[in-house]
């Protein structure tokens, strides 16, 4: 039996290593040593820069637009690191927290030309690790031997990117009866992805008929709204209203997806909140951090429903993108059921932005 980890398991290790501040080796058209800025320390930055005079900081085009840096590669920019670059300087490029206090970051010199497939994968890996999408990269001549010498994870950009683009298969772990306030006939199902990512949950109310359209809510985890009663969003009221409606109708399934902050993680969501306090709306905040408007993968919800035996849904949502994604992935959405609750003076602008910029329906 071969005990060596496969590519999928190495990807999970790589995400964990990057969160700990350990670099990974990525092979591809341009083999790289890559480390995320958020967890990089001074010693490792100095060691990486000593390896090559061509060290660069890869950021997304969203972040580059804020910094007025040239995104020659379309979706990303490769900022050349000055030889005297410090960790504070690198952090200032990656993290927008100090942009208003220290707006002058440049001029920034950006690389152009060549194949950036490896750099693109490094950015996507940082996102998958729920870290700021900013990666220090150093070119390597002998990637495999370098990884072996330093006990670093070695990944193929080609196969690794294919895994990130695909939706990881989900497997049912356990289900158990869960009496709730809205219905004593409740059941909680736990699903675990093969890629080592976060588990997702399905809360089943009653005994829904698998042949009929299912009252469904695709709900993204919101620690601040669901648990803390935050007034900055409408997530908590939507969660409770959806469960209450399922309880009233006697059946339904609420899919609770661990994709906090539209898929950027709680820490980055709090960074976005901080930027909102500076006057930026929710979409602008995500862009300044280097993320897209929405980084969630709604395919996972469709996969869970199909594994539970459902093929038709009445979807509780104001987001047409959820309807489209469910339909594209094998769930026939027979009805969009509006869910308008939870508006207050603290989140009025947030809800208006979702309508104006994210296509949500009133």
- Under a CB-based contact definition with an 8 Å cutoff, are residues 361 and 239 in contact? no
Query: pTM of the full predicted structure?
Result: 0.93
Q: Is 248 one of the annotated active-site residues of the chain?
A: no
* pLDDT for 198 beyond 90: yes
Known catalytic residue at 296: yes
Q: Which of 17, 27, 73, 294 is catalytic?
A: 294
Whole-number pLDDT of residue 98: 86
User: Distance between CA atoms of 306 and 113, rounded to whole angstroms?
Assistant: 44
Tell me how far apart the alpha carbons of residues 56 and 124 are, in angstroms, rounded to a whole number: 16
Q: Is the pLDDT of residue 55 over 80?
A: yes
User: Which helix (H) or strand (E) segment is 188 a member of?
Assistant: strand 186-193
| Element spanning 256, H or E | strand 252-257
State the catalytic residue, choosing from 112, 296, 321, 336: 296
pLDDT over 80 (residue 103): no
* Residue 362 banded pLDDT, cuts 50, 70, 90: low
More confident residue, 345 or 151: 151
pLDDT at 254: 98
Whether 104 shows a pLDDT value over 90: the answer reads no
Closest CA to 275 of 289, 294, 261, 265: 289
What pLDDT, in 10s, does the model give residues 263-319?
999 999 999 999 999 999 999 999 999 999 999 999 999 999 999 999 999 999 999
Q: Tell me: pLDDT of 220 over 70.
A: yes
Residue 202 has pLDDT above 70, yes or no: yes
Average pLDDT over the chain reads 94
> What is the model's pLDDT at position 340?
85
Question: For residue 1, what pLDDT band results from cuts at 50, 70 and 90?
Answer: low
- CB atoms under 10 Å from CB of 211, counted, come to 10
Among 196, 180, 167, CA closest to 306: 167
Residue 224: its pLDDT value, please? 96
| Range 235-258 average pLDDT | 96
| Phi and psi torsions of 277, nearest 5° | -65, -20
Is the distance from CB of 25 to CB of 155 less than 8 angstroms? Answer: yes
State residue 361's pLDDT score. Answer: 67
Cα–Cα dist 154/150, whole Å: 11
> Would you say residue 129 has pLDDT above 80?
yes
Q: pLDDT grade, residue 77 (50/70/90)?
A: very high
Taking residues 128-154, what's their average pLDDT? Answer: 97
140's tokens: 């390597």
Three-state SS for 69?
coil
CA-based R_g, the chain, Å: 22
Asked whether 148 and 170 are in contact (CB, 8 A), the reply is no
């Amino acid at each position: 039996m071969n005990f060596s980890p496969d590519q999928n398991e190495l990807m999970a290790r790589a995400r964990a290593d990057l969160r700990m501040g350990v670099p990974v080796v990525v092979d591809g058209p341009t083999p790289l040593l890559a480390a995320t800025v958020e967890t990089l320390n001074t010693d490792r930055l100095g060691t990486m820069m000593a390896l090559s005079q061509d060290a660069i900081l890869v950021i997304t085009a969203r972040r580059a637009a804020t910094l007025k840096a040239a995104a020659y590669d379309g979706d990303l920019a490769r900022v050349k690191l000055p030889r005297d670059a410090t960790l504070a300087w690198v952090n200032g490029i990656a993290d927008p927290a100090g942009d208003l206090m220290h707006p002058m970051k440049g001029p920034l010199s950006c690389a152009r030309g060549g194949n950036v497939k490896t750099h693109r994968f490094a950015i996507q890996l940082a996102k998958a690790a729920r870290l700021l999408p900013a990666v220090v990269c150093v070119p390597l001549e002998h990637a495999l031997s370098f990884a072996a010498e330093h006990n670093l994870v070695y990944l193929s950009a080609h196969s690794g990117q294919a895994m990130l683009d695909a939706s990881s298969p989900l497997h049912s772990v356990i289900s158990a009866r869960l009496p709730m306030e809205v219905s004593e006939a409740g059941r909680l199902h736990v699903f675990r992805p093969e890629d080592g990512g976060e588990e997702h949950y399905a809360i089943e109310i009653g005994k829904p008929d698998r042949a009929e359209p299912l009252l469904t809510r695709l709900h993204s985890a919101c620690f601040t709204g669901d648990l803390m009663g935050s007034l900055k969003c409408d997530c908590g009221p939507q969660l409770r209203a959806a469960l209450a409606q399922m309880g009233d109708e006697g059946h339904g399934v609420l899919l609770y997806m661990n994709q906090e902050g539209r898929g950027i993680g709680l820490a980055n969501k709090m960074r976005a909140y901080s930027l909102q306090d500076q006057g930026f709306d929710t979409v602008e905040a995500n862009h300044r951090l280097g993320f897209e408007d929405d980084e969630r993968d709604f395919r996972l919800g469709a996969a869970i429903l199909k594994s539970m035996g459902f093929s038709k849904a009445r979807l509780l949502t104001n987001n047409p993108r959820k309807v489209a994604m469910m339909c594209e992935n094998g769930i026939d959405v027979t009805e969009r059921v509006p869910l308008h609750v939870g508006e207050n003076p603290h989140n009025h602008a947030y809800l208006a932005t979702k309508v104006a910029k994210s296509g949500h329906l009133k």
